Structure 1
């Protein structure tokens, strides 16, 4: 059984600690009996005393659970009173076992011996009570931490889903506009091809979990589905070059992380070039990091403080938000001017190899 599963099962955890604790008490007393050279029959007395202590402290658990939410002063009063009564009763049982079994009816004459033995038992029960409350508070603290972690995870996943699903309406809006335009100019064949390819692309997006990462190889397949849609619009005006290393293809990346960047290049670069343009997509692994690059040879854009100042839309901002949500500060997203013209986006994330 795993330790965490044992801790989570409070009923079983209590009994494991209860039995182990009183066995430990018995062992300590047994070692003491060897030091003071007690007779072997004293071992039987030790076992009886530990057994009695184990049984007599069980009701304390149920009493403490009843007063758990009581006011502090009342709780302290109950703990000390219950510990005193239980300790005194346990002391009587121990004296009986000691005098009747070990010393065959002998009674000590010193009055302080009775008091000392009684106080020792009360102290042990108080220690038991302290351990009970300490472990109980620790379990509650762990439970609250797990709840907070679960709530944080759910919020994290909700944010990721929101960011991922934000792409679909944006992409659909542009694609449906293009299909509408093709129908208006009576390019029915091209419109039909675009609808068919759009169906394939949307099927992929719906079958992909927005939370989980996917191999870059799979992401490139989805990207090619998207580019096939765009090629219906641009035909020979759109050129795409892939430069992906074999190791990089097995890297895990957020699903549809490149599509909004390609869409941004097509919308703000390729669409404004009469002779069309080129988009280059590169990926490699270096120093245990995955390096992704998307560049175009368009007219470029104004970059201020690492951001585009004259471009509206959700593509780049969405990508940055998703990267931050997934990797916190362990990533980089850099916009730069391409050579000789155009815009270039560089992404660096930790390299995680997909399992085959």
Structure 2
């Protein structure tokens, strides 16, 4: 049995997929399986995934005939996973070599069900300028449901834990019947962790830099459309209704979360109205919530290329040199990357 199932949902990701997969192949924890779920790609993604599978017996490629979205692709991979832990790796991101070994060791030592580390945020093609997502502000500690809800309110002031990429015990997920909400195209990981915490899973934060988060023009994690926001609002509302029997402080935190989702939906609608020059709709939305105007600097700044997504620290902290070097060594063709001529013999 593999210790970790690395699941890589992918769609039209031929440009970055190899770097992601090779970072999994290069893990010092060799007892892993790598499940690539192609979500109906129309580029060279499938051919690339098949080529990588031909050189490493730990890689399995699954194809979807239709586009399920990131949550649906994750669910398909979860159903196929056989590891003790499961780790989601987005197809445009990377992991430093000792990441899984370290997280598993911490998770077992603490008796945790969820273990998260820090993100190394880097611009596409410029890992030497990487910054730390959490900014060195956190120590290893337990994250309660209330802690998590407070740290993931949309447009909040601090780093949003919803962007972290924790490993999770697969048996705990299956025992709790926890899967991704397939309607979500954005924030599916955040919703998933909220449901896991509501089911009683225990979350440990180990803020060592280990997950390389690539920022590039095609990334959708900070692009919020009205349709995406509406799906998030619907999911949040259903969760709030379903958990009405929780302690009052949890219900209040879920209500705050839902109110923030509603504002995000209104804001997305406001921006779309502006783009369509629909003055009547834009005016109506602002009259209903004048605070929307205070959020205008985000898309305007992003459009001008002068503003980072709101979840990044205002004063980024430069990543530690060792983490930057680790990211550089696992890029395709770099010294230290796994040889494409080897096919590890791994017990299945």
Same fold? TM cut 0.5? no
**Structure with the larger strand share:** 2
**Structure with the larger helix share:** 1
TM-score bracket for the superposition, by shorter chain length? under 0.3
Q: Kindly name which structure, 1 or 2, has the bigger radius of gyration based on alpha carbons.
A: 1
Q: Which has the higher contact order (CA 8 A, sep 6+)?
A: 2
Q: TM-score, normalised by structure 2?
A: 0.24
Q: TM-score, normalised by structure 1?
A: 0.24
